[in-house]
Amino acid sequence: MASTLNVLDIEMSQTKGSNFELCGHHCCIYALHRAKGLFMTSFVKLFSPTHYNCKDIRAVRMFRAQFGECPT
């Protein structure tokens, strides 16, 4: 169990960008991804392993495509 959690932590850290305010966007997108029956590995592949700003931009675009603008 511990090794599974370590792998999950590493994989999720690969999806995070530099703006921690967007964490909720990533969570919502992941929930939709899982609801479609897709796995973590395919979700992680959606995000570049090194370009943090690109991860944030991609997360916002994916979120808006599914949910529209965030309420303020």
Torsions phi, psi for 51 (to 5 deg): -95, 90
Q: Which two tokens stand for residue 13?
A: 């850290």
Please state the pTM of the whole predicted model: 0.63
Residue written as token pair 């921690």:
20
DSSP-derived secondary structure letter, 17: -
pLDDT tens sequence across 21-67: 777 888 888 899 899 998 888 888 887 777 767 878 888 898 899 98
CB 61 within 8 A of CB 22: no
| CA distance linking residue 38 with residue 63, whole number of Å | 17
Q: Which two tokens stand for residue 11?
A: 């994989």
Of 17 and 33, the structure prediction assigns the larger pLDDT to: 33
